[in-house]
Structure 1
Amino acid sequence: MKLSNVLSMALASTTGAKSIGKPNEVDDLAAEGLHRMQAYYSENPLPSPEKCTLDNVAVRRDWSALSKQERRSYIKAVKCLAKLPAKTPAAIASGARSRYDDLVITHIQQAFTIHGTANFLTWHRYYTWAFEQMLRSECGYKGYQPYYNWGHWADNPKASPFFDGSDTSMSGDGAYIANRSSVCFPSTEQCYIQLQPGSGGGCVTSGPFKEYATASHLSSSQQSQLLTPSSSWKINLGPLAAVSLPPPTPNPQPNGLGYNPRCLSRDISLQSSAETRDSVVAALIKDNTTITSFQTVLGGEFAQGKMGPHVGGHNTIGGDAGSDFINSPADPAFFAHHAMVDRVYWTWQNLDLESRKEAIAGGTSGVGDPGEAGTLEDVITLGEWVGVGNVTIREAMSTVGGPFCYVYV
């Protein structure tokens, strides 16, 4: 697709948001960023011109902009990964049951060196891209990774086509559990935010990823069918750091890699989705001119009572997978959420490519201990079993360079 067509799609997307009354300043900024990217690369060489040009670039779109058939194709491919056998040896992760689990495992293993770090944005960019490539190469998916546009639905996530519980959604809320109290966030030791119960709390009950549990009135063979990922969704690993009540079933192993089969739970939270409002995300992009401040505000200023859009997006989903930053990819909504994180980062970069295309800040070990300063030559790895090679942070800095060739509309 030629970039002129991409730009037309960007403008149409923004116009569409206006026509249905959705807030769209972030979309306007993304469209402006795309214009500036085109202008920049009309005067400067592309990072990987032999592989990616502005004529063959892939386009990632909002879930709401996909046709129902496109959504079904994506859902089918995600479930396909959950049916393929894991490549991670049982000696490393006894709970590994699928190719999807291979992805969850590497996030669990690296959780404390990919959050609050210099590689956070680029590692998750590469991770989301690797997921997209697995869908395409192993499960026949023809499209590209969609994103969930937080700001369009921040006032009511369950009204979105992404969380409405239909057969073309990524499933809806969990079953409502009453009489719950708030929980301390990010931890009981650092209780900066009282996270109130959301509107669910239990197993997801609608849509393609609903509860996998058996039903007593069914035969053994029928129950076995319910337990397959083709008819539902099962979480096999974790939890490790879930911020939720009731607490999820503990993993039999301290490292969270033991076999712990259970339903996907969610607890959709308006308190958290407020952190992803269009005005909040637009201010993040416009008001933070350094990568240090951009990352800080995006990641949350907990001591000031702010989750930030990244964590706010996770806690909007809630549940043991949505609010457990270590095991969070176990919820397939993770990847559309992180595609939106990447879109925001991509937009911020594009608005001033000259100074931001390789901007880096932060350490090499996060969560309270920054360690040594990160560099552009630091290696990003997804481990041995996901199936993609290592890259450097420098190679992952541009979505039209390194292993990548995509833009957002």
Structure 2
Amino acid sequence: MPHTSCRHPRVRREFRELSEHDRERYILATVCLREQPSRLSTRETQWVRDGVGRKIAMPSLYDDFVYVHWRVAAETHGTPQFLPWHRIFISLYERALIRHCGWDEGIPFWDWSHDSQSPETSILWSARFYGRPTPSTPGSSPDSSPSSSHFIGASNFTHLFATWPSPHPIDRNWVQGPQGTLIPATFSPVELEMITGMARYGLFRSFLETLPHNLVHSGVGGDGGDFATAPTNPIFWLHHGNIDRHWARWQHHHLHIAHTYEGYPDSNNATVDDMMHYSGMYPDVPVRYALRYGNESNGYDEEGDVLPDAELLVS
């Protein structure tokens, strides 16, 4: 049975704090998961070329994460499980990068509060990393059907395809402004401090999810704006790393209630024994497994790791 010991703590750093070499290594590790065939799907693997000529599996090991998230979206969004379920989920992703793609650190996060007034100007959207949205063209999907949305532009993720809920080009749709496409403003550090100061888990979770979390998803748009299949867009992991970081900060600043868990506004509709489901990727575990985190910090900057010590079933 899994437990919460942390034998190999890994550090999670803000993406911009990584060296140029490590930024590129992380991006390539993310792409690497798309080059591995699915471990969960019963569909026959098809191989396609992405926008830069790499051979991509459909469905892929990366698609397994989208599938698992899609399967349980209703029970993990807008509910108390939002934070603990995603804490395990991003740790599973981190472990897959390490096991299959040569990554050897904690996954980075995107502190979007640093870019709160103009998120689209972040270096994350440069062609070296995640790319900006670009209008799609007819006949660009795997089944040659027209698409009216927006591809990820020139980057390591150019013209990648998604599997769930059906094959389609990964899209990202920003707001059209007078100076070009943009992402609406996100929460500033001051506003986040107000949320982190809330002295009750249910209230904190509700505000963190419905305000800054949802705002970033809707701002990125396209696949990233669909909560069920949002992991399709690779920025998901940096975004949720930051969300989990704020939960870790909340736990650190409220040690007397750090391991509490409740609904909001009804405190009686959730317990730490509620099971979290991972659809065959990982054993179903109770919420209590995600409430503990290494060194009371969860691995951000100088801190520990959270994933219970169980085998990843997609290995």
Which TM bucket (shorter chain)? 0.7 to 0.9
Asked whether 1:297 is paired with 2:207, we answer yes
Residue equivalent to 1:22: none
Question: Structure 2 residue aligned with 1:361, among 232, 251, 262?
Answer: 262
Give the drift of 1:394: 0.8
Q: Distance in 1 between matches of 2:151 and 2:100?
A: 29
State the secondary structure of the residue aligned to 1:58. coil
Contact 1:158 1:173 in 2 (8 A): no
Residue equivalent to 1:71: 23
Question: Structure 1 residue aligned with 2:41, among 71, 89, 94?
Answer: 89
Give the drift of 1:309: 0.3
Residue equivalent to 1:330: 232
Question: Structure 2 residue aligned with 1:172, among 132, 135, 149?
Answer: 132
**Residues 296, 143 of structure 1: alpha-carbon distance in 2 compared, 3 angstrom cutoff:** same
Contact 1:378 1:392 in 2 (8 A): yes
Asked whether 1:407 is paired with 2:314, we answer no
Give the drift of 1:262: 1.6
Taking structure 2 as the reference length, the TM-score comes to 0.78
Residue equivalent to 1:127: 89
Q: Distance in 2 between matches of 1:208 and 1:268?
A: 23
Asked whether 1:309 is paired with 2:212, we answer yes
Residue equivalent to 2:163: 236
Give the drift of 1:93: 11
1:2-401 aligned at under 5 Å gives the runs 51-52=6-7, 57-90=9-42, 97-163=59-125, 165-167=126-128, 169-175=129-135, 202-210=150-158, 212=159, 233-237=160-164, 256=165, 259-267=166-174, 273-286=184-197, 288-300=198-210, 308-319=211-222, 321-355=223-257, 357-362=258-263, 373-384=269-280, 386=281, 388-400=282-294
Taking structure 1 as the reference length, the TM-score comes to 0.61
- Percent sequence identity is 23
Contact 2:217 2:224 in 1 (8 A): yes
Q: Distance in 2 between matches of 1:342 and 1:327?
A: 19
Q: Distance in 2 between matches of 1:261 and 1:274?
A: 28
Contact 1:61 1:145 in 2 (8 A): yes
Q: Distance in 2 between matches of 1:326 and 1:96?
A: 19
Q: Distance in 1 between matches of 2:203 and 2:82?
A: 14
Contact 1:266 1:318 in 2 (8 A): yes
Q: Distance in 2 between matches of 1:297 and 1:281?
A: 10
Contact 2:133 2:171 in 1 (8 A): no
Letter in 1 for 2:275: V
State the secondary structure of the residue aligned to 2:59. coil
Count of equivalent residues: 275
Contact 1:292 1:361 in 2 (8 A): yes
Give the drift of 1:380: 1.9
Residue by residue over 1:242-269, the C-alpha shift from the partner in whole angstroms, topping out at 9 and shown as x without a partner, is: xxxxxxxxxxxxxx3xx42324333268
Give the root-mean-square deviation of aligned CA atoms.
Answer: 3.1
**Residues 282, 149 of structure 1: alpha-carbon distance in 2 compared, 3 angstrom cutoff:** same
Q: Distance in 1 between matches of 2:81 and 2:184?
A: 25
Q: Which runs of 5+ in 1 are unaligned?
A: 1-46, 178-200, 213-232, 238-255, 301-307, 364-369
Q: Which runs of 5+ in 2 are unaligned?
A: 47-56, 138-148, 303-315
